[in-house]
Structure 1
Amino acid sequence: MSDVDRVPVEVAVGVLVERDSAGSEGRFLLTSRPEGKVYAGYWEFPGGKVEAGETVEQALARELREELGIRIGATHPWQVLVMDYPHARVRLNFCKVFDWTGDFQMLEGQQMAWSQLPVAVTPVLPGTIPVLQWFAAERGHAGPTHLD
């Protein structure tokens, strides 16, 4: 079956962004993929598969509660990207999130890092790189979006 024939798995992705005192977008949260998962150790935006009967927003709220132990407020749909990985074809539904409650807990043994451009944590999951480029375009950032 060719990549074009593979039906993408729907994935909800949370782009958690801090606001500075002036209300501008600041640092964003990246998490590492835990041991035992494909691409373990790679950095990405947190999220996961949309289950049957869920909206992207419902899936994102569930995933961030299960992975990070937080409850999110409103989600802001931002970008959609289809990525072909050797193990799966995924449709990544990126939503910005500015409001959450609770203390961050790495419930899957992952790590977290509040980041800015260029991102210093490596390696970065391939599906994360376009998001960093979108951030750079929005923020008028010149130069690399991540360090290799």
Structure 2
Amino acid sequence: MTDRVVVVGAAVFDEGRLLAARRSAPPELAGRWELPGGKVEPGETPEEALVRELREELGVETDVLDRIPGEWPLKPGYVLQVWTARLLSGTPRPLQDHDDLRWLRPGEADTVDWLPQDRPAVAEAVRRLSALPGPAAQG
């Protein structure tokens, strides 16, 4: 077994938009944008970690949907895995590690400076978001 830490990221969808979070720490990442998430703790599944991290970081409840294929290296010993998720309740707020949040429509995904390791997953998330039916008349 390899000693590696899995970091989970969420492509959170709501009303045809993708949530982007701007890092406030550490200094080398501050000001860059990412998909919110965090480390999987011992005894947690990646999906459980994602729900917990989104609750802690953003104050929202989410439903984890599908894993985006692939994983991306972060710092040595760390890999990023990304899932799509939908917002169930709450309004996202930057509670930890972030100083700004933005909801982006598919055509707006390139308007923020994504961290390099998030870019492939963001591209796939945007592709999936674009394929979803438009917002229902009911909202």
User: What is the match of residue 92 of structure 1?
Assistant: 80
- Normalised TM-score (structure 2): 0.77
Structure with bigger gyration radius: 1
**Local SS of the residue matching 1:110:** strand
Greater share of residues in strand: 2
| Alpha-carbon shift at residue 39 of structure 1 (Å) | 1.2
Higher relative contact order (CA 8 A, sep 6+): 2
Contact 1:12 1:50 (8 Å CA) reproduced: yes
Q: Any gaps of 5 or more consecutive residues in structure 1?
A: 1-5, 20-25, 141-148
User: What is the match of residue 90 of structure 2?
Assistant: 102
Q: Any gaps of 5 or more consecutive residues in structure 2?
A: 132-139
Query: Which ranges of 4 or more aligned residues in structure 1 deviate by more than 6 Å?
Result: none
User: What is the match of residue 64 of structure 1?
Assistant: 54
Contact 1:82 1:89 (8 Å CA) reproduced: no
Greater share of residues in helix: 2
| Alpha-carbon shift at residue 89 of structure 1 (Å) | 4.2
Aligned residues: 127
Q: Is residue 111 of structure 1 aligned with residue 100 of structure 2?
A: yes
- Normalised TM-score (structure 1): 0.73
Q: 1:37 to 1:89 in 2, by over 3 A?
A: farther
Question: Quick check: 99-108 or 62-71, which moved more?
Answer: 99-108
Query: Which whole-Å CA distance do the structure 2 matches of 1:47 and 1:82 have between them?
Result: 14
| Alpha-carbon shift at residue 7 of structure 1 (Å) | 4.5
Q: Deviations over 1:101-120 (max 9, x none)?
A: 12222112421011123424
Give the CA RMSD over aligned residues. 2.3
Q: Deviations over 1:56-87 (max 9, x none)?
A: 11101110111001122x311221433234x3
User: What is the match of residue 21 of structure 2?
Assistant: 31
Q: 1:79 aligns with which of 36, 52, 68?
A: 68
Matches within 5 A, 1:132-143: 132-138=122-128, 139=130
Query: Which whole-Å CA distance do the structure 2 matches of 1:28 and 1:92 have between them?
Result: 18
Query: Which whole-Å CA distance do the structure 2 matches of 1:45 and 1:137 have between them?
Result: 15
User: What is the match of residue 145 of structure 1?
Assistant: none
Amino acid corresponding to residue 104 of structure 1 in structure 2:
P
